[in-house]
């Protein structure tokens, strides 16, 4: 491989990119815009669940229970209906996901040693939100019930009942269990997968459409020199995109970064070369920029979203999809970024993912080179 010829191709591509200010702006602005939009929109933290509470007893004990639920950050009590019909209308029209009803005679039945049932209805059309809310509510009612039991025992001169088992939990890497802390790193990986394939998928196709490929073919430039020369400017843009995205994740979304920037740089380099080699392969396969762009969206965007482990846990997928997910670079880069951001791990932990990305990178570069040679023939 001739370095001078490779540098000449890279210089030519740099000049073209700098002259095409709109494409350059889009290459940098689109990842930022996507990160901001998806970063704010994709929030898996379930709180402030719309709730209606019917207190048909209106006694000190029932009001205490209602007050606790109303003050909890997990519930947003939108109304205190006076009848079941009004409460059911809130569920029917989607104004509330949970309806809780404290029965009449609640305090009196407690005083008589009975166990009054508290009615809880949930809107199953949003099963995830309602089920999580039901868990929160069940826990709060259980705590309140235990307190009432201990009050009775104390009043009777008996010793309070201590639970026979106690769970002491420690949450590693994400103590607050905030969804943004693992969504944003995965989102950066997905966005870079799509953008890398898109911006490089047009580069060879553009040469064919403009008729300049014949001029390049007539020169002594070899296929691999052309591919590497065209990759260099776009990998540079990719570095800028990754840098901006990481800084935004840390400063804008307050995602903790516990890893090494050197590790991130090396892993990002391998990933960018592989993802952009895939874009070059698409560009060679389709001589039209339109076809190349559509192919890049179809083959990069959908797998990055659906099969990378970003949106859906890979272990929960059917076995055939689990196998397919191993053939996409986003699967490994999502895992790498989460580990670097949250766990701060090094190469000894990331070795397998780095090796798979390296193999992916090498295979795609070889395929792009062979495809380019066949296309020239």
Asked if residue 343 is part of any domain, the answer here is: yes
- What does the pLDDT look like over 83-93, one tens digit per residue? 999 999 999 99
Residue 163 domain-assigned?
Answer: no
25: pLDDT confidence band, cut at 50, 70 and 90? confident
Please check whether residue 93 is in contact with residue 100, taking contact to mean a CB–CB distance below 8 angstroms: no
Please check whether residues 201 and 300 belong to one and the same domain. yes
Residue 53 backbone class (left: φ over 0; alpha: ψ -120 to 50; beta: rest): beta
If asked whether residues 225 and 308 sit together in one domain, one would say yes
- Please indicate, yes or no, if residue 340 is contained in any of the structural domains: yes
Number of domains in the chain: 2
The CATH code of the domain that includes 118 is: 3.40.1710.10
Domain final position from 155, 172, 195? 155
Whether residues 211 and 285 share a domain: the answer is: yes
Same domain, 284 and 189: yes
Virtual torsion, Cα 1, 15, 375, 287, nearest 10 deg: 160
For residue 146, give its domain range. 49-155
Rounded to whole angstroms, the Cα distance separating 237 from 118 reads 59
Q: At residue 271, does pLDDT exceed 90?
A: yes
Domain-embedded: residue 121: yes
- Write down the pLDDT at residue 233: 93
Residues 219 and 347 in one domain: yes
% of the chain residues with pLDDT over 90? 55
**The model scores a pTM over 0.95:** no
Q: What are the tens digits of pLDDT across the range 294-324?
A: 888 888 888 999 999 998 889 999 999 999 9
Residue at 172 is within a domain: no
Whether residue 165 lies inside any domain: the answer is no
Tell me: do 150 and 82 sit in the same domain.
Answer: yes
Check pLDDT > 90 for residue 152: no
316 found inside a domain: yes
In a domain, 199, yes or no: yes
DSSP, residue by residue, 117-129: PPEEEE-GGGHHH
Express each pLDDT in 202-238 by its tens digit.
Answer: 887 777 777 777 677 677 778 788 889 989 999 999 9
């Amino acid at each position: 491989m001739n370095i001078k010829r490779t540098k000449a191709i890279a210089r030519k591509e740099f000049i073209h990119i700098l002259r095409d200010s709109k494409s350059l702006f889009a290459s940098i602005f689109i990842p930022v815009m996507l990160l901001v939009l998806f970063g704010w929109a994709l929030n898996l933290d379930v709180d402030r669940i719309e709730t209606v509470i019917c207190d048909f007893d209106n006694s000190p004990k029932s009001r205490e229970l209602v007050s606790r639920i109303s003050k909890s950050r997990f519930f947003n009590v939108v109304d205190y209906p006076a009848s079941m019909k009004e409460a059911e209308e809130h569920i029917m029209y989607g104004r509330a996901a949970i309806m809780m009803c404290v029965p009449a005679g609640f305090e009196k039945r407690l005083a008589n040693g009975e166990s009054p049932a508290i009615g809880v209805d949930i809107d199953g059309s949003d099963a995830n939100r309602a089920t999580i809310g039901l868990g929160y509510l069940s826990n709060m009612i259980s705590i309140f019930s235990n307190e009432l039991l201990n009050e009775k025992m104390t009043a009777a001169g008996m010793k309070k009942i201590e639970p026979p088992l106690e769970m002491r939990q420690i949450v590693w890497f994400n103590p607050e269990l905030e969804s943004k802390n693992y969504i944003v790193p995965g989102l950066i990986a997905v966005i870079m997968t799509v953008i890398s394939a898109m911006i490089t998928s047009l580069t060879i196709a553009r040469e064919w459409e403009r008729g300049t490929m014949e001029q390049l073919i007539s020169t002594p430039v070899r296929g691999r020199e052309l591919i590497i020369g065209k990759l260099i400017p776009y990998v540079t843009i990719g570095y800028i995109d990754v840098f901006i995205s990481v800084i935004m994740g840390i400063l804008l979304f307050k995602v903790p970064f516990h890893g090494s920037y050197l590790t991130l740089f090396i892993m990002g380099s391998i990933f960018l070369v592989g993802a952009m080699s895939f874009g070059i392969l698409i560009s060679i396969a389709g001589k039209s920029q339109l076809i190349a762009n559509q192919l890049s969206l179809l083959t990069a965007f959908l797998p990055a979203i659906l099969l990378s482990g970003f949106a859906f846990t890979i272990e929960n997928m059917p076995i055939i999809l689990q196998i397919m997910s191993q053939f996409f670079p986003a699967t490994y880069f999502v895992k790498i970024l989460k580990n670097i951001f949250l766990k701060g791990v090094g190469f000894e932990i990331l070795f397998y993912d780095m090796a798979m990305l390296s193999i992916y990178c090498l295979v795609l570069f070889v395929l792009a080179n062979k495809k380019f040679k066949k296309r020239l023939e």
